[in-house]
Amino acid sequence: MKLIKDYSQIVGKEIIDELYLVADKLKGKKIQNINSTLSGGGVAEILSRMIPLMKDLGLDVGWDVLDADNKFFEITKKIHNALHGLGVDINEEEYDYFLQVNKANKDKILDQSDIVYIHDPQPIALIDQDRDQGKKWLWRCHVDFSKPKENVWEFLKAFIKKYQAAVFSAPAFARFLDCRQILISPSIDPLSDKNRNLEKREIDFVLEKYGIDPDKPIITQISRFDHLKDPLGVIESYRLVKKYIDCQLILAGGGASDDPQTAEVLKEAENLASADKDIFVLHLPSQSNLEINALQRASTVILQKSLKEGFGLTVCEALWKQKPVIASAVGGIPLQIAHKYSGILTYTTEGTAYWIKQLIQEPEYAKRLGDHGKKHVANNFLITRQIQDYLLLFLSLYNKSDIVDLG
């Protein structure tokens, strides 16, 4: 298990010292995180990494999960889809069941904490200001909230407004709300298998496993097989480049193979790629973090040609590896890339192809983009920054003014 001091080598001792200074101001406060699952999914992953580090900083922080059945999770899946803007039908009985499960969990789950930090919509209705006088409540929304369906939004809003603050990942998710809204971007863990430094032999091993030529330029997109990630557009861009430059394309990622959409998109990509031995379509299991790391590090140029995106953390992962990244200007991607400084933002298949050619043929410029990108991520999107944001979030519950002198 990683300790907070292990991150000094990456962010500097001063940043870690600052974390200790802030954490010290939260002495005596007990914090309880609540979400819907202990494993699987991005929320559980980030909590499992952050909570040990916060404990290591001396915080009294815990993590509990809702006790719920499949019927409940089928309803919350519908709520999740509605927040993404999909038209779904949730009836009164389902809303009632959602509330019933939350109510039944109140006595079981809530402890004597000073701050309750609720993650995502599943446990949102646990809040009970009348019963839990003195507790501070925070709601963290980890999902894309840019175009929620009105009826589901109205249902959730009745709970959100009872919280002291709501936390979102991107500015576009903010709404007119009675409570404060805080921006906390997601982050990557530089010491995880997906992002840690690799030995050359580890990278070569993965290239050899898939028959990828290390001496020929490699264009890579890492993402699940989903139309919104536009893997077919990536193949089209590659073909426009291939007319002039002998290169290879890697499309690698996960997505449940029993998900009908994943299977369909994967098949389409495989069909398009079948006649070209330089296209590698790799459907990887979810634990393939080291392989993804190696593929990114072996790449000449990395793409994230999404049509829609929540935050797009794969961009940060690529920038962290000092790679030149060409990505669509959607969702949270422009927060990660300043066009022509720390990467390239594009809008079309043709524009993506144009920039791939430029970056392969101008390695010095590509290197500069990668260097700037890594510094930008180091400064803004590492797990230590997210921990700091969480600490400030907790402190802000007890300090109202715009300027707070903590002494």
228 in contact with other proteins (CB under 8 A): no
* Residue labelled with tokens 């390239």: 344
> Parallel, antiparallel, or unpaired: how do β-strands 325-328 and 301-304 relate?
parallel
Between 238 and 355, name the residue whose CB sits nearer to other proteins. 355
* Residue labelled with tokens 């109510």: 103
**Residue 156: enclosing H or E segment and its boundaries?**
helix 150-160
181 in contact with other proteins (CB under 8 A): yes
Binding other proteins by CB under 8 A: which of 51, 174, 245, 263?
Answer: 174
Between 194 and 376, name the residue whose CB sits nearer to other proteins. 376
15 in contact with other proteins (CB under 8 A): yes
Between 15 and 263, name the residue whose CB sits nearer to other proteins. 15
**Residue 249: enclosing H or E segment and its boundaries?**
strand 248-253
Sites for other proteins among residues 339-358 (CB under 8 A): 341
**Cβ distance 391 to 22 under 8 Å?**
yes
- Contacts of residue 230, defined as CB under 8 A and 6 or more positions apart, other chains included, come to 305, 306, 307, 328
- Piece of 1-9, 13-21, 67-75, 125-133 that binds other proteins (CB under 8 A): 13-21
305 in contact with other proteins (CB under 8 A): no
CB 390 → other proteins: shortest distance, Å? 10
- How many CA within 13 A on the CB side of residue 318? 32
Q: Partners of 225 in the beta sheet?
A: none
Tokens linked to 64? 């509990």
CB 19 → other proteins: shortest distance, Å? 10
- Piece of 121-129, 180-188, 202-210, 318-326 that binds other proteins (CB under 8 A): 180-188
CB 192 → other proteins: shortest distance, Å? 24
Q: Left if phi > 0, otherwise alpha if psi is -120 to 50, otherwise beta: which for 46? A: alpha
Sites for other proteins among residues 358-377 (CB under 8 A): 372, 375-376
**Cβ distance 172 to 143 under 8 Å?**
no
CB 97 → other proteins: shortest distance, Å? 31
Binding other proteins by CB under 8 A: which of 27, 133, 211, 406?
Answer: 406
104-142 burial code (b ≥16 CB/10 A, e <16): ebeeebbeebbbbbbbbbbbbbbbbeeebeebbbbbbbb
Interaction mask 306-345, other proteins, x per CB under 8 A: ------------------------x-------x--x----
Using DSSP, state whether 84 is helix, strand or coil. Answer: coil
Between 81 and 146, name the residue whose CB sits nearer to other proteins. 146
Interaction mask 141-160, other proteins, x per CB under 8 A: -----x--------------
Farthest-apart Cα atoms in the chain, separation = 69
388 in contact with other proteins (CB under 8 A): yes
Q: Which residues bind other proteins (CB under 8 A)?
A: 12, 14-15, 17-18, 21-22, 146, 168, 171-177, 180-184, 330, 338, 341, 372, 375-376, 379-380, 388-389, 392-393, 395-396, 399, 402-407
